[in-house]
Amino acid sequence: MKKSSSMLAMLRILGLATTIAMTGCASSAPSAPESTAAAIEADPWWETFGSPELTAMVEEANAQNLDVAAAGARVRQAEARVHDADAGSWSGISLGVDAGRTARIKSGASDATTTYAGALVTSYEVDLWGRLRGESASAVASLRATEFDRDAVRLSVSAGTAIAWIRAVGMQERVVIAERNVADAERLLVLVEARNRAGAATPLELAQQRGITASQRRALESTRRAVLESNVALATWLGRKEPMSPGLRSLESLRLPSFDNELPSNLLVRRPDIARAEAQLAAADADIAVARAAMLPSLSLSAAIGTGGRHWRDLIESPIYTLAAAIAAPIFDSGRLAATRDLSVARRDEVLAGYRSSIVSAFAETQSALQALRAHEKEIEQQDGVVKQAQRAVAIAESRYRAGAETLLVLLDSQRTLYTALDEAVELRIHRFLASVDLYKALGGGWGRSEG
């Protein structure tokens, strides 16, 4: 009866120790942060271009891109490290049951004996100086940094997909113009060849037109190759192996997002790379606290219930228990702990410099994108004037040609000039849209939903 009471008392002691240890862990462990992915997904800046095709491409890229998948795996690794750090104080409970048989070897007899043993053990480290809390805080901050890194990858993939899609659409539009240029050059070549045979055109004029035609054909092939390269780049962003068509053949239907001349500087805090640097800085600060706490004494508590005997019933009838406390302090370690502390401080200085560099880069990229937008808008305005004059010249040449006052040579030449102006206008529009994407990326996403 006394043995049974003793057994119950030991179980109560072990249960109390377990409760204290678990309570200590629960009170010291910081909560894991929420992912920033929801904020990124709530701001689909690519929709401001007004293209369902572009929206579908970007959404598919975010779902299928391999870099995004790898970033997601890194987040899961960081989450596992947080769980591991949260369990730093508490070693858990281990149960061991053992059975063995021993005997001496001698002739004619055996004195073999069978023994049984069992033990239930738990231990807990008291976080006197905040080392374990620091490890947990560092893991949580590192998790935040990893989540922001994933968001940065998503932003990069979204921008890269948009850029590849815009280029693919723009290059297809340029192919149509190049085909018209080649057709006009070939028609003009036929006319010059006929005039040469009639003696109305010189061999020099014929050679010049043949050179122009060959140049236009080469330009067409170059543009077609650029279309294929753009389609391959687009497929790569989407995680596909085969070249992919953008699903749209002209940039005319796209909206140009509006922007303010002076964007507020607080928009830059939305950049995931800056948020990542801030989280890395917090992790580095926590690592310094951990390194300093490691130089101080540590206190650990342990509790165990064990038993043994020659029969299974002995495991219940003769239990023993152990309660222990241990203090350990570093005395001499050849300077390893101090070196670890200095390493953490230097690492923090490195992260701080990187954080400041991220801010400087953010402002530089934003200003560069804004300047590019302004420059392209002025160039587009000027090029629109060039296109209008070229269209007017074609209209005059057609009217005079129909009236018999102008030759076909002049009409075809004016059409070629128009196609060249149109091609340059398309190229400028491509750059204008790309600059808009660059600005979205520089700001970490969209800044508003008013389109012009």
pLDDT tens, 70-107? Answer: 999 999 999 888 887 777 666 677 777 777 777 766 65
Q: Of 238, 452, 428, 263, nearest to 362 (Cα)?
A: 263
Q: What is the model's pLDDT at position 223?
A: 92
Confidence class of residue 11 from pLDDT cuts 50, 70 and 90? very low
Q: Say if residue 448's pLDDT is above 70.
A: no
Find out whether 387 and 421 touch, Cβ atoms under 8 Å: yes
Residue 31 has pLDDT above 60, yes or no: no
Highest-confidence segment of 59-73, 284-298, 312-326, 393-407: 59-73
pLDDT in tens, 281-307: 989 888 888 888 778 787 777 788 777
Domain ranges for the chain: 50-90+128-297+336-443
The two three-digit tokens of residue 399, written as one number? 């009217």
Residue 418 and residue 422: Cα distance in Å, rounded? 6
The packing angle between helices 131-197 and 2-28, to 10°, is 40
Q: 427: pLDDT confidence band, cut at 50, 70 and 90?
A: very high
pLDDT of 160 > 70? The answer is: yes
| Sequence-ordered list of residues with C-beta below 8 angstroms from that of 451, at least 6 positions apart, any chain | 48, 50, 255, 256, 257, 258
For 254, the 3-state DSSP assignment is coil
Specify the range with the lowest mean pLDDT, choosing from 9-23, 62-76, 215-229.
Answer: 9-23
Q: What is the mean pLDDT of residues 436-445?
A: 88
Query: Which of 106-110, 221-225, 329-333, 347-351 shows the lowest mean pLDDT across its residues?
Result: 106-110
Least confident of 18-27, 41-50, 319-328: 18-27
Q: How far is CA 182 from the centre of its chain?
A: 43
Give pLDDT, residue 265: 62
The rounded mean pLDDT for the chain is 80
| Residue count of the chain | 452
- Greatest mean pLDDT among 28-37, 127-136, 375-384, 440-449: 375-384
Q: Are 305 and 19 in contact (CB under 8 A)?
A: no
Matching residue, tokens 């596992």? 80
In the prediction, which pLDDT does 299 show? 74
The pLDDT, as a whole number, for residue 59 is 93
Helix-strand-coil percent breakdown of the chain, rounded to 5? 70, 10, 20
Residue of 150, 140, 145, 143 whose CA lies nearest to 71: 150
Q: What is the pLDDT of residues 168-181, one digit of tens each?
A: 999 999 999 999 88
- Spatial CA neighbour of 282 closest among 134, 79, 78, 153: 134
Q: What does the radius of gyration of the chain's CA atoms come to, in whole angstroms?
A: 38
- Give backbone dihedrals phi and psi of 244, rounded to 5 degrees, phi first: -125, 130
What percentage of residues in the chain have a pLDDT greater than 90? 29
Mean pLDDT, to the nearest integer, of 11-37? 38
Residues 6+ apart with CB under 8 A from 337: 291, 294, 295, 330
Mean per-residue pLDDT for 182-197? Answer: 88
The pTM score is 0.75
Residue 109: strand, helix, or coil:
strand
Beta-strand pair 298-309/319-328: antiparallel
Amino acid 380: pLDDT: 92
Q: Kindly report which listed range (16-25, 97-106, 207-216, 399-408) carries the lowest average pLDDT score.
A: 16-25
Give the Å distances, CA to CA, from 432 to 163, 234, 328: 11, 19, 66
Task: Give mean pLDDT, residues 13-38.
Answer: 38
Q: pLDDT of 250-274, one tens digit each?
A: 888 888 887 766 665 666 677 888 8
pLDDT of residue 316: 66
Which of 12-21, 79-88, 213-222, 305-314 has the least mean pLDDT? Answer: 12-21
For the four alpha carbons of 121, 126, 132 and 133, in that order, the dihedral sign comes to positive
Q: What does CATH list as the number for 50-90+128-297+336-443?
A: 1.20.1600.10
Give me the mean pLDDT over the 37-44 stretch: 56
Q: What angle do CA 177, 182, 185 make, to 5 degrees?
A: 125
